[in-house]
């Protein structure tokens, strides 16, 4: 991939998501949003370990995360299912997510 391709926003062939993978992610995210109250979406930037992803957080802090093809797809998804969307790099994560994860770690026998 040339620097010009990167400048134009083209992705290397190895980083593109297959249609089936996108459809599976969308179905999972839709199901999560439909079965929980107070869901918000957070677009997570790519890191050296993970690719761009969409994190959904319910009112109680329960969450799910899936890879997405690009940020525009994540914003479009949130608009389609009518949930607020935030840029995780700008807004950070809600406290309820950290509280939920802490409670899950403290649960005995599971």
How many H helices and E strands in the chain? Answer: 5, 4
CA distance 96 to 27: 24
Domains of the chain: 27-106 (3.30.720)
Query: What angle, rounded to 10 degrees, do the helices at 19-35 and 71-80 form?
Result: 40
- Predicted TM-score (pTM) of the model is 0.83
What would the two tokens of residue 106 be? Answer: 């403290």
The pairing of beta strand 53-57 with beta strand 63-67: antiparallel
Q: In this predicted structure, what is the pLDDT of residue 30?
A: 98
Q: In this predicted structure, what is the pLDDT of residue 71?
A: 96
15 or 48, higher pLDDT: 48
CB count in 10 Å sphere of residue 40: 20
- pLDDT surpasses 80 at 16: no
Per-residue pLDDT tens over the stretch 24-58: 999 999 999 999 999 999 999 999 888 999 999 99
């Amino acid at each position: 991939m040339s620097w010009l391709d990167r400048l134009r926003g083209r992705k290397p062939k190895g980083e593109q998501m297959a249609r089936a993978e996108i459809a599976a992610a969308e179905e999972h995210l839709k199901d999560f949003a439909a079965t929980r109250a107070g869901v918000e979406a957070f677009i997570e930037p790519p890191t050296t370990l993970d690719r761009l992803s969409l994190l959904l957080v319910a009112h109680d802090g329960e969450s799910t995360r899936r890879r997405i093809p690009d940020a525009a797809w994540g914003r479009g998804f949130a608009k389609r299912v009518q949930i607020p969307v935030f840029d995780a790099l700008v807004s950070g994560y809600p406290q309820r997510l950290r509280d939920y994860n802490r409670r899950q770690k403290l649960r005995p026998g599971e």
